[in-house]
A and B are shown apart, each in its own frame.
Chain A
């Protein structure tokens, strides 16, 4: 029997222009990867002592006491409450923003007249670009009194529900306020992603549901919403990532208290990012390391959320 012929090597020929361009684009792409790794390495390097001193206790303890500034061994640093605050406010934001985003996206894509559709799409992009400190000030000045009123009402009628109970009925800068503000802030990005996936729903399936005597709502329920489900989850995850990392807006609208707090009406909470902003200016050398370590934790959590968002969004694209 004949042996198969030897395989030939196929060599692709690149022109100089190709090589230069290739080098340029690949270094640009690698640059962001390098920056990512450098930031992680920097945080790990600066915060390493903290992880060595506290281990997992750093994320389970809820105390931030630098003790004697001269003697690091007297300090107790732990971001448990801040992590809980990050997650709590982000989830309030998602729970409020996602239903609004779905409704807004469906309106823009399936109900709005053409001119309104163009206008709203542009406005959404514009709103997404407002600096977060502006949102923070608006939240403090406009939203705070409103939420105080709402909180009082919620407390009055629903205080049997653990989330809506407080020790002392003082509301103010609560996780609810911060969460609602974050909801407003992430609404544009979630709406934008939802609008895009809903717009990709196959026209022939929508037609099929109309041709079967379906109402518009029935068609949306049968075709558009199932089609956009995983894309929407991806959009929500992007919003979640942004809400967890938000600094200034939370700094202005949430009282920093080192105590794990699930009572969303209580004027107590904080998140990791606002902790860093709050303490950074006057931190001792050892405390600074703690803040770096907190930054690393936040960095990893945000990275993880974004990673899952990307996976989910990619999977939804494949179904198309």
Chain B
């Protein structure tokens, strides 16, 4: 490893060669750092407050289209807060406030007159804890978003199959679509939640530690799903798992709080973050020296 700033031990964590997702994601998208307006998402000078507590300060970050960006950093550094700011879920927390702009296709999603419901339809979200609707069966869960958003579809069954296939769950559940969503395993439930988000055909998918409650096998399946989805949509993912960030993401953004509000320390191609970060704190974190 040749790097001038990071220490010699900085290595990209190895991934088993047969996992199917070892391809160097960063090469595919190398040189794609330019701002792409179409379907693109960008945060400009974003701050967040909860009541008087300043949780996040001055984050500017661009998410290139059809890439996976990993948000990494120790707990409490504002990653999830930042994620929830990107599709206006932030405002559901009482006394939450924000500053700055989030540009979706060049337009500020916090501008007056913007319908947040429309924003959330196009910028989907999957949560840390799998949360299928308990009163609905598997198939109903997939199309729950259509029902909630009152979107009509011509062929519901085809959509259910398509979404479940893209979420990598179809083969496991195709014979029991009428079973309750809660009857699935944790990993399957999480993929069901991804399928549910896909049914609305979002342009961006936000994932908040989607694998934190899953076993390694399920994690691998979800990671494969994420990589496949990134062919057709922009993905932003919060993760505490450095190996996962290295395996899945094209870009990484490292957040850190020094006791005050969380800040963006650096954002770069994932290979650079892991092998050649420009900030010593990033190097320390990705090597597991703290956090």
Q: B-contacting residues of A (Cβ < 8 Å)?
A: 114, 202, 204-205, 207-215, 218-219, 222-223, 226
Contacts and interface: CB of A to CB of B under 8 A. Distances in A.
Given A213-B118, A226-B135, A208 B127 contact: yes
Given A210-B92, A215-B117, A222 B129 contact: no
A208 B92 contact: no
Nearest to B129: A204
A210 B120 contact: yes
Contact of A214 (B94, B124, B127, B149): B149
B148 interface: yes
A207 B91 CA distance: 11
B59 interface: no
Contacts of B144: 209, 212, 222
5 contacts: A204-B127, A208-B127, A213-B121, A215-B148, A218-B148
A163 B119 CA distance: 50
Given A222-B144, A223-B133, A212 B92 contact: no
Contacts of A204: 127, 129, 131
Nearest to A208: B131
A34 B127 CA distance: 52
Contacts of B236: none
B133 A222 contact: yes
Interface stretch (B22-30, B41-49, B192-200, B244-252): B192-200
B100 interface: no
Nearest to B121: A213
Nearest to A222: B148
Interface in B113-150: 117-118, 120-121, 124-125, 127, 129, 131, 133-135, 144-145, 147-150
Contacts of B200: 212-213
B265 interface: no
Contacts, number: 65
Interface string B78-117: 0000000001010010100000000000000000000001
A144 to B, nearest CB: 44
Given A210-B89, A211-B125, 17 more contacts: A204-B127, A205-B131, A205-B133, A205-B134, A208-B133, A209-B133, A209-B144, A212-B145, A213-B145, A213-B148, A213-B200, A214-B117, A215-B117, A218-B150, A222-B144, A222-B147, A226-B135
Contacts of B196: 208, 212
Contacts of A207: 89, 92, 127, 131
Contact of A211 (B89, B94, B147, B150): B89
Interface of B: 87, 89, 92, 94, 117-118, 120-121, 124-125, 127, 129, 131, 133-135, 144-145, 147-150, 193, 196-197, 200
Given A114-B94, A218-B148, A226-B135, A208 B120 contact: no
Highest count of chain B CB atoms <10 Å: which of A205, A210, A213: A213
A212 B193 CA distance: 10
Contacts of B129: 204
Contacts of B89: 207, 210-211
Nearest to B132: A208
A89 B260 CA distance: 62
A111 B282 CA distance: 43
Nearest to B125: A211
A99 B229 CA distance: 45
B138 to A, nearest CB: 15
B60 to A, nearest CB: 24
A223 B134 CA distance: 9
Contacts of A114: 94
B122 to A, nearest CB: 8
B91 to A, nearest CB: 10
Contacts of A202: 131
A74 B149 CA distance: 71
Top 7 closest pairs, chain A to chain B, by CB:
A214-B148, A213-B121, A212-B145, A211-B125, A213-B149, A204-B131, A218-B148
A226 B134 CA distance: 10
B149 A211 contact: no
A303 B287 CA distance: 66
A1 to B, nearest CB: 40
A211 B197 CA distance: 8
B133 A211 contact: no
A211 B120 contact: yes
A67 to B, nearest CB: 59
Contacts of A214: 117, 145, 148-149
Contacts of B133: 205, 208-209, 222-223
A204 B120 CA distance: 16
A219 B148 CA distance: 7
A213 B133 CA distance: 15
Contacts of B92: 207, 210
Nearest to A219: B148
B127 A212 contact: no
Contact of B149 (A205, A212, A223, A226): A212
A209 B135 contact: no
